Amino acid sequence: MLLTGIFEVIFSKPLPSEASEEIAKLVEFLNRDYLKRGTRRPEDAATITEYNIESNVIRMQIASGTKVRLDEASLRIKNVLANSLGSRYRIGIRKLTLRDVKIILDTKISISLKLPFIRGVTEVNGKTVIELSELHEDDLKKPIFLRLLQLIEEKEKRAKWGGKAEHWMLLKASDLKIQKPIVIDPNKVLEEIGWMKRMSIGQWLYTPPLTHLLNALKRLFLDEVVKPLGFQEATFPKMYPLEVGLKTGHLKGVINSIVFASLPKSYDLSEFEELIDSMYVLNSVEPEDLQKYLKPSSYFLCFAQCEPFYWFFENEILDNDALPIKWFDMSGPSFRWEAGGIHGIERVIEFHRIEIVWLGKPEQVIEIRNKLLERYEYFMDRVLDLEWRMAWVTPWFYEQSGVVQEEVRSINIDVPGTIDFEAWLPYRGSREDNRNWLEIGNISIHGTKFTEPFRIKHNKGEVLWTGCSGFGSERWLIALLAQKGFNIDEWPKKFLEYVKTSPFPQSIMTVSYPKTREGKELLSKIISKLVW
């Protein structure tokens, strides 16, 4: 990437002729030393390629790389000129302008022309030339230039890596435990026997029997994994202000999957009169009509479920005594708009999860992750006796924030990244085909991905990292039922014990529900064993 531009410095009065020798020396010093500071390779630094003096104006043609960028170089030049010429000739700087700025890229990218400062984008011989409008001193001091370059770099990487950046590397797999695979889809069974009913796309009501099973599984997970490691329960909001999503990166990365929320325009009921009248008479409500009464969305619904954790510690300064912090939240649902591929309660719009979060120094965060990993393995392997595997994958916090990750060639799991847990779903087909495995949970360390934007600090200046892990309740239950079926004799002992701690709730069986005769018969068969 090459940045070029003309930097114009206007002085309060004409420069005396004897200043030109001085300026030549300053340019030499700048090119040799000051504009190269902080870089190793000259192409990353800046160079004044040409300059001229005209009365009270110095114009410099600058070319730079991305370390000492054009804006940074301009400010350095300004400082040198002000310090040297200012006192000697009693002359001040009146105005700074950076004009004819061009960002020249070796690749083809597209960028919104609506962005401030962008004047035009052209393509010449496979290169992209982005022209900026004039920048003044105030603009140069803002990080706009930096952010623009970050955006361009991300776009370039995306163009280069395309879909390839997604990676998956097997870390560990269980024994092949299943001899006689069950070929029935538990999602279908649960719907057929009426334990759950679909309210709208990807959204379900779980009746008491299914809730009972989900709760048993959650309690078991808490007792076996979360609580022994000392995590404590917190209650996180489930609707977040937009700024939070700007900082976590979600608004940049997954805006197409986010569900947004709006507030009413007025609290005065009489303002809604027309709409209310029309509902009385027409007995319908059109979303387009409703929209007129709503403010633009200023919230988004819980997406990753750990967002409030980073927000809570924003601008806080932590000392060693406070660290590490280990919490979990299971106070409400997460929402994801999945355009296609919705299936039963495996892939939904609204789902439930136990979100485990932690914050500490890097070694603490890694150690907590390692302990969790051990307990997860024990939980999958011994407690639930599942056929499982775990893999080092594209980190969710890059994927969800639109940051492109380059290809990973070897595995060092002590760096920021994500480990996915997957279970085989025999009803989908053979275990050899990756499409027949379901991601049931993940565990990540994020490095400073969140402590930086939220400015979470240590009092002695040490680096702080975060980690999180999501246990998607519905998916774990589906994995268990897909591998063990609905015959409770096949269920893991510990799970059954938790299911049996209270009487099994009554299933809804009415004239019209469950819908089919087969469903009713299947339900009778399943519940005959669930009485104790």
Burial group, residue 503, by CB count within 10 angstroms (0-12, 13-18, 19+): exposed
Tell me which DSSP letter residue 343 carries. B
> Residues 224, 355, 387, 474: which binds ligand SER (CB under 6 A)?
355
d(CA 529, CA 489): 9
Cβ neighbours around 356 below 10 Å, total:
27
What is the pattern of x (binds ligand SER, CB under 6 A) and - over residues 396-425? Answer: x-----------------------------
From the list Zn ion, ligand SER, none, pick the one residue 396 interacts with, judged by a Cβ distance below 5 to 8 Å according to partner type.
ligand SER
Catalytic site includes residue 336: yes
| Region near ligand SER per CB under 6 A, out of 25-33, 301-309, 383-391, 517-525 | 301-309
> 263 or 415: whose CB is closer to Zn ion?
415
Catalytic site includes residue 219: no
Catalytic site includes residue 274: no
For the chain, first and last CA: distance in Å?
Answer: 71
Q: At its nearest, how many Å lie between Zn ion and the CB of residue 249?
A: 12
Residues 6+ apart with CB under 8 A from 2: 63, 64, 65, 103, 104
What is the pattern of x (binds ligand SER, CB under 6 A) and - over residues 460-489? Answer: --------x-x-------------------
d(CA 77, CA 51): 12
Look at the chain and count its residues: 532
| Chain residues 464-493 in contact with Zn ion, contact rule CB under 5 A | 468
Rounded to the nearest 5 percent, the helix, strand and coil shares of the chain are 35, 25, 35
Residues 6+ apart with CB under 8 A from 175: 387
Structure token digits, residue 359: 């914050």
Strands (E), 74-217: 93-105, 118-124, 127-132, 135-136, 168-173, 196-200, 203-206
Binding of ligand SER at residue 185 (CB under 6 A)? no
> 145 or 303: whose CB is closer to Zn ion?
303
Which residue in the list 346, 355, 399, 474 is annotated as catalytic? 355
> 140 or 304: whose CB is closer to Zn ion?
304
Which residue in the list 156, 192, 346, 420 is annotated as catalytic? 420
What is the pattern of x (binds Zn ion, CB under 5 A) and - over residues 429-468? Answer: ---------------------------------------x
Smallest CA-to-CA distance from 165 within 173, 176, 154, 175 is with 154
> 440 or 468: whose CB is closer to Zn ion?
468
> Residues 140, 193, 301, 304: which binds ligand SER (CB under 6 A)?
304
Catalytic site includes residue 158: no
Instruction: Say if strands 317-318 and 457-458 run parallel, antiparallel, or are unpaired.
Output: parallel
> 306 or 368: whose CB is closer to Zn ion?
306
> Residues 47, 442, 451, 473: which binds ligand SER (CB under 6 A)?
442
Q: At its nearest, how many Å lie between ligand SER and the CB of residue 299?
A: 18
Strands (E), 166-323: 168-173, 196-200, 203-206, 232-234, 239-241, 260-261, 299-301, 317-318
- Residues recognised as catalytic: 306, 336, 338, 347, 355, 420, 439, 442, 468, 475
Residues that bind ligand SER (CB under 6 A): 304-306, 353, 355, 396, 442, 468, 470
